[in-house]
Amino acid sequence: MTATAIRVQGIEKSYKDLHVLRGVDFEVASGSIFALLGSNGAGKTTMVKILSSLLKADAGTAAVEGFDVATESLQVRQSISLTGQFAAVDEVLSGKENLVLMAKLRHLENPGGIADELLAQFNLSDAGSRKVATYSGGMRRRLDIAMSLIGNPKVIFLDEPTTGLDPQARIDVWQTIKDLARNGTTVLLTTQYLDEAEHLADRIAILHKGRIIQNGTLDALKRLLPPAEIEYVEKQPSLEDVFLALVGETAEEQKEQEASR
pLDDT in tens, 51-68: 999 999 999 999 999 999
Mean local confidence (pLDDT), 119-141: 91
Mean local confidence (pLDDT), 9-36: 95
Position 251 confidence tier, pLDDT thresholds 50, 70, 90: very low
- Burial pattern 176-194, b for ≥16 Cβ within 10 A else e, equals bbeebbeeebbbbbbbebe
CATH number of the domain that residue 222 is part of:
3.40.50.300
Distance between CA 10 and CA 163 in Å, rounded? 29
Host domain of residue 118: 4-260
Residue 209's identity, in one-letter code, is K
Q: Give how far Cα 121 sits from Cα of 126, 176, 252, Å.
A: 12, 9, 14
Task: Kindly tell me if the per-residue pLDDT of 259 is higher than 70.
Answer: no
**Percent of the chain predicted with pLDDT > 90:** 56
The whole-angstrom distance between residue 231's C-alpha and the CA centroid of its chain comes to: 39
Task: Kindly tell me if the per-residue pLDDT of 221 is higher than 50.
Answer: yes
User: pLDDT tens for residues 72-92?
Assistant: 999 999 999 998 776 678 999
Lowest mean pLDDT among 136-150, 200-214, 243-257: 243-257
Task: Kindly tell me if the per-residue pLDDT of 26 is higher than 90.
Answer: yes
User: pLDDT tens for residues 160-210?
Assistant: 888 878 888 788 888 889 988 998 999 999 988 888 999 999 999 999 889
Q: For residue 94, report the phi and psi dihedrals to the nearest 5 degrees.
A: -80, 170
Give the pLDDT confidence score for residue 36 in this predicted structure: 94
> In whole numbers, what is the pLDDT of the chain averaged over residues?
87
What is the number of domains present in the chain? 1
Distance between CA 158 and CA 201 in Å, rounded? 12
Distance between CA 181 and CA 170 in Å, rounded? 17
Can you tell me whether residue 91 is helix, strand or coil?
A: coil
